[in-house]
Structure 1
Amino acid sequence: MKKTIRLGAGALGAAAALWPLASAQAAGCEDLVGKKVGGGVVTSAERLPAGAKLSLSGAWAAAPIAPLPAAICRVKAQISPVAGSLINVEVWLPETWNGKFVGLGGGGYSGGLDTAAIMFPPLTTQGYATAATDVGHPSSEDAKWSNGQPEKLIDWAHRGNHVTAVFAKALIASHYAKEAQRSYFHGCSNGGRDALMEAWRYPQDYDGIVAGAPAAPWTRAMTGFAWNMQALDGPPKVTFTPAKLKLVTKAVMARCDALDGVKDGVLEDPRLCRFDPAELQCKSGDSADCLSGDEVKALRAIYQGPRTRDGKQISAGFAPGGEASDWPAWITNAKSNQRNFATETFRWFVHRDEAWTLDRFDLDRDFALGLKRMGPVIDSDNRDLRPFLKQGGKLILYHGWNDAALPPENTIAYYGQMSKLAGPMADQARLFMAPGMGHCFGGEGPSKFDMVAELDRWFESGAAPERVIASKPDNMLAMLAGWPTQTVQSRPLCAFPKRARWNGTGSTDEAANFSCVAAE
């Protein structure tokens, strides 16, 4: 989603035996310019040595990024699958290749090129060839680029990542004189929507897929965003101060923190928390140490999630526990991300009217119109992944419980329904819920983990991951930028529906002292 750096590359675990390149191949990087392969043409190619300076683009251009750890050939290319479509692609080819390829998804209305400098290096250092795309238009925080451009909408929705996969695999086979033995895809947020779109619409593109906090039910999610804004806009208008949100989180923790056996400011499973904001309602009027009646009403609506006038639930609401840390940027600030996405999506994708404003939103009417006008192109929450699974595909889903961008329980519902349809193939998918984690990274709980490495081990060993270790660095932004950090806490993420439980002895900051147990 908006201005979000997505985790998922991480520090990869041991990869398969690396396949050293012949020196002639490494020296031939610049010779790739002009090469036509896989439906695209290479526009530039340059060798970047270890230690080369990297930089981000877009909103993150000023962020200090760690130098490149290992030499690569950075290839830029363009693909024009249909008239009105021009897709930019970047592929990094490591000089020491492990025989595998990873495609990376985007975020919000943009592709994955903005953050290539932080997402690619950990992967290429372990030998993976990597690729990402701008999905057909420059990085943007609005959706005006889609106005009168149906092919650009299709490129962003699904075609951009598909043609990138086809091109990248063809380029890899040409450059290394050997096809990739395995291909993976990873994305979080809208990149998670990209991931499930690949699994559903293009099951031949990738062998294994990691989808984090997927915005797959785009129409339902955007309807939920608009619902939340209506809850805050009233009348009367409700403005939550940081102090009021801290008051709410403190009350949530007082009631529910100990339910998982450890008082640490993190809920292992917020669904067990029976918190009603009416507990904090002022006896009369309003004051800093209680909630007004209108604030209680707004909170209840956000926890509940959007419903039609006849009571039909459209999307899950948000879990309690992350109000103070994660809600301001996404929900409660005057210029929140949810407000921007709701406005831009319904303005351009649904109504196609630059004058449309959020105060005109009618849930029953606009949800139905959204399903008709954008759902068939954008939504990737089709639960039938049998074509992907039948060819041996494996899927890992993950979602942070403190996510204030996309409701965690939507992913749980998707996993359950997809598994039911998959039948005996359901064992080829796993879901990991991350307590305290915000949107794709950060939050109160450990949120540094490497699902690409888990996916690769699954393929190599044949054993599905049941316990993934998540850690919390002392500086999350430094970790994302590739600089060294120290671990201050670790916990296991358990394959859903199991939960982590402290063994009763040892530090509660060390994963080794926790076991994955069946949900009670």
Structure 2
Amino acid sequence: MGGPPNLAQCRSRWEDRMTGHRFRISIVRFIASYFIAVAIAAFATSARAQANIDVDEHRTTPVPHRYIHGILGDAKFQIALPDNWNGEFAMGARGFSGDENASGAFKTVGLQKGYAYALSDQGWNRFTIIDQPEDKYYESRRRILQLTQYTKALISRYYGKPARRTFMVGGSNGGHNTKMMVEDYPEEYDGGLAGYGITSHIEWMGSNTRFVRNFDVIASRIDDIIAKRTARPNWDPATTPLSPPLTPDQLQALLNIYNMPAHVGGLAFNIGRVPGSEYRWPPASAKWPLGSYTAILGYATTSVAKFDRFYDPNGDGVLSLEEIKAWDPNLSPPPVANDLRRFDNTGDLQHPIIIGHGSHDPIVSPGETLVYKRLVEARFGVAGARNLLAVYFIPGMGHGGAEYDAALPAMFNALEAWVDYRESGGRTGSPPPNVLVGGLGSYPRN
């Protein structure tokens, strides 16, 4: 009665309501924060992705290394960690027809030089993708990045320190993906070796169907065409007829193979097959063992329906062989280009790339590499482009081959020296050589 009032017992009903209100707000905020934290953790776990390992063993060839095989997301992968590690990582990219085991010489040479190596099947297969609605060509980007980050973390745990450098390496579609990943993720990759790669998938597939439908017209005269080209390398079929002469349709079809207008990144280019490569055009046979017609047709038959979901000329729901050969992406509705143009290389490089390409490649035209060089030049100027891109054409080589494989050690060395040179401001290392000396020849820089 005589002491000061207990303020804790003298709150108004309004104050009581406010206290309860604040308590409810605190509870709501706590619950919201909890679920946000759970969501962030789940996202982070998803982003890291947990691999299911089915093989983890030590192998001795080509050099002693730890070999790991498993599945990450829905993509199968392999990882090779050499005993004699050089402190760096070569992330592979497979060809259009490959899987996680289709490493070519990149893995062998890389391991021999001490690189850790990894390769993904990218979550799709060329021969089954048409029957798998959830599989997309564009999935490659995500799966390559996912395996890159997973392997980097594994390297750090296994060797006790992170990789000093990471390079992208691959040929054909892997050459395309090497350019794509170095362009799009400069924070992940320090450079790349991009062999004989596609620059625009939509133009590449369009060139395949153009090739086969025009070759069909000249097939009966291909022996004569090859003989004439062999005897006269500078032969112009438009001014010097064969004997007997080609029909007008045959002559036009031959010219259509040499000259295929295409465009990428606002640049027009020729994606046609190079004069002199005719001996690589027919179906493979005892007479023409390097022939590629069947392979080129195979790319079209397994891919056109997936590339262009609207294409069905007679509306029967099935594409015949002749309909596949007739496909022209220039006649496809806009959504097709909108989808496939996402694959186009851009030339927007921050780190250096070395390209080797066969001058007689019938699968991916040398024109694709020439226009890629122009894309880089369009962004950085001719001099600036030479600080980011080195191109070497290998005379007479087709779609990859022994010459390229034998040049890979020199390419790895050149890329290392180039990155050293750029990072040191020219104090160490060197720019790419004006002549690349490979195991089976020497190739001037383009």
Q: Distance in 2 between matches of 1:307 and 1:69?
A: 42
Q: Distance in 1 between matches of 2:412 and 2:48?
A: 25
Q: Distance in 1 between matches of 2:400 and 2:238?
A: 27
Question: Does the 8 Å contact 1:221/1:315 carry over to 2?
Answer: no
Match in the other structure for 2:184: 201
Question: Does the 8 Å contact 2:110/2:117 carry over to 1?
Answer: yes
Match in the other structure for 1:3: none
TM-aligned CA distance change 1:343 to 1:46, over 3 Å: closer
Does 1:355 find its partner at 2:318?
yes
- Any idea what SS the aligned residue of 1:448 has? helix
Does 1:77 find its partner at 2:100?
no
Question: Does the 8 Å contact 1:249/1:322 carry over to 2?
Answer: no
Question: Does the 8 Å contact 1:277/1:299 carry over to 2?
Answer: no
Percent identity over paired residues: 21
TM-aligned CA distance change 1:404 to 1:359, over 3 Å: closer
Q: Distance in 1 between matches of 2:238 and 2:127?
A: 33
Alignment root-mean-square deviation, CA: 3.2
Deviations 1:371-414 (A, max 9, x none): 123222xx2321322xxx1xxx2111221110001111221122
Question: Does the 8 Å contact 1:42/1:75 carry over to 2?
Answer: no
Match of 1:159 among 134, 142, 150: 142
Larger RCO (CA under 8 A, 6+ residues apart): 1
Match in the other structure for 1:396: 354
Does 1:304 find its partner at 2:259?
yes
One-letter amino acid matched to 2:359: W
Question: Does the 8 Å contact 2:176/2:197 carry over to 1?
Answer: yes
One-letter amino acid matched to 1:166: Q
Q: Distance in 2 between matches of 1:172 and 1:434?
A: 35
* TM alignment of 1:133-148, pairs within 5 A: 133-137=120-124, 139-141=125-127, 143-145=129-131, 147-148=132-133
Deviations 1:46-84 (A, max 9, x none): 33343xxxxxxxxxxxxxxxxx1321110123222xxxx
Structure having the larger proportion of residues in helix: 2
- Any idea what SS the aligned residue of 2:212 has? helix
Does 1:282 find its partner at 2:249?
no
Does 1:432 find its partner at 2:387?
no
TM-aligned CA distance change 1:240 to 1:165, over 3 Å: farther
Match of 1:171 among 141, 144, 154: 154
One-letter amino acid matched to 1:365: L
Q: Distance in 1 between matches of 2:251 and 2:273?
A: 15
* TM alignment of 1:4-403, pairs within 5 A: 38-50=48-60, 68-80=61-73, 86-111=74-99, 113-116=100-103, 119-137=106-124, 139-141=125-127, 143-145=129-131, 147-150=132-135, 152-156=136-140, 158-233=141-216, 237-240=217-220, 243-253=223-233, 255=234, 275-276=236-237, 279-283=240-244, 291-306=246-261, 315-325=270-280, 328-329=283-284, 336-351=294-309, 355-356=318-319, 357-366=323-332, 370-376=336-342, 379-385=343-349, 389=350, 393-403=351-361
Does 1:465 find its partner at 2:444?
no
Q: Distance in 1 between matches of 2:104 and 2:230?
A: 38
Q: Distance in 2 between matches of 1:143 and 1:241?
A: 36
1:241 is displaced (CA, Å) by: 6.2
One-letter amino acid matched to 1:358: I
1:339 is displaced (CA, Å) by: 1.8
TM-aligned CA distance change 1:37 to 1:224, over 3 Å: closer
Match in the other structure for 1:409: 367
Match in the other structure for 2:415: 455
Deviations 1:10-57 (A, max 9, x none): xxxxxxxxxxxxxxxxxxxxxxxxxx994332514533343xxxxxxx
1:360 is displaced (CA, Å) by: 4.9
1:293 is displaced (CA, Å) by: 4.2
- Any idea what SS the aligned residue of 1:396 has? strand
> If the length of structure 2 is used for normalisation, what is the TM-score?
0.75
Q: Which moved more, 1:217-226 or 1:455-464?
A: 455-464
Question: Does the 8 Å contact 2:59/2:67 carry over to 1?
Answer: no
1:369 is displaced (CA, Å) by: 5.1
Q: Distance in 2 between matches of 1:350 and 1:325?
A: 28
One-letter amino acid matched to 1:210: L
Question: Does the 8 Å contact 2:63/2:82 carry over to 1?
Answer: yes
Question: Does the 8 Å contact 1:326/1:402 carry over to 2?
Answer: no
Match of 2:445 among 490, 495, 510: 495
TM-aligned CA distance change 1:277 to 1:103, over 3 Å: farther
Deviations 1:279-310 (A, max 9, x none): 243346xxxxxx454432221110011479xx
Alignment size in residue pairs: 376
1:196 is displaced (CA, Å) by: 1.2
Q: Distance in 2 between matches of 1:394 and 1:322?
A: 30
One-letter amino acid matched to 2:271: A
- Any idea what SS the aligned residue of 1:449 has? helix
Which ranges of structure 2 fall in alignment gaps of 5 or more residues?
1-45, 421-427
1:348 is displaced (CA, Å) by: 1.4
TM-aligned CA distance change 1:249 to 1:43, over 3 Å: same
Question: Does the 8 Å contact 2:106/2:170 carry over to 1?
Answer: no
Q: Distance in 1 between matches of 2:194 and 2:62?
A: 26
Q: Which moved more, 1:93-102 or 1:294-303?
A: 294-303
Question: Does the 8 Å contact 2:437/2:443 carry over to 1?
Answer: yes
Which ranges of structure 1 fall in alignment gaps of 5 or more residues?
1-35, 51-67, 81-85, 256-273, 285-290, 473-489, 497-520
TM-aligned CA distance change 1:325 to 1:213, over 3 Å: same
Match in the other structure for 2:16: none
> If the length of structure 1 is used for normalisation, what is the TM-score?
0.65
One-letter amino acid matched to 2:121: D
Q: Distance in 1 between matches of 2:101 and 2:341?
A: 26
One-letter amino acid matched to 1:125: Q
Q: Distance in 1 between matches of 2:291 and 2:243?
A: 23
TM-aligned CA distance change 1:193 to 1:327, over 3 Å: farther
Q: Distance in 2 between matches of 1:293 and 1:324?
A: 22
